[in-house]
Amino acid sequence: SSELTQDPAVSVALGQTVRITCQGDSLRGYYASWYQQKPGQAPVLVMHGKDSRPSGIPDRFSGSSSGNTASLTITGAQAEDEADYYCNSRDSSDARLFAGGTKLTVL
């Protein structure tokens, strides 16, 4: 299957840790990338590869992968982390895949 799935919504208390997951068969062979999107803005890359953060992304963001599941973890969530998060990967035809996104609420 060439699909990626995410939980539609997740919430976290301010300062606590939250894990956002992405599942799909393609993740057994290819790393996921993660994007943060705030209302009215374009997505921003926050994680890629095994656990690589682009310049400017806080170190409270981390990534991991096991089997068919990739995870984005925010350790000590801040109010500004409230956003939609999308994972992306690719399939064996090099087509790019997106999951449906997770809406993160910081309480």
Partner 1 sequence: QVHLQESGPGLVKPSETLSLTCTVSSGSVSSGNYYWSWIRQTPGKGLEWIGYIFYSGSTNYNPSLKSRVTISIDTSKNQLSLNLSSVTAADTAIYYCARDRRGINWFDPWGRGTLVTVSA
Report whether 55 contacts 44 (CB < 8 A).
Answer: no
58 binds partner 1 (CB under 8 A): no
Work out how close the CB of 13 gets to partner 1 at its nearest, in angstroms, rounded to a whole number: 26
φ, ψ of residue 59 to 5 degrees: the values are -75, 0
Q: Which of 14, 16, 28, 49 binds partner 1 (CB under 8 A)?
A: 49
Residues paired with 48 in a beta bridge: 52
21 binds partner 1 (CB under 8 A): no
Pairwise CA distance, residues 97 & 94, whole Å? 9
44 binds partner 1 (CB under 8 A): yes
Using alpha carbons only, what angle is made at residue 36 by residues 20 and 54, rounded to the nearest 5 degrees? 100
90 binds partner 1 (CB under 8 A): yes
Residue numbers at the binding site for partner 1 (CB under 8 A): 30-31, 33, 35, 42-45, 48-49, 54, 86, 88-90, 93-101
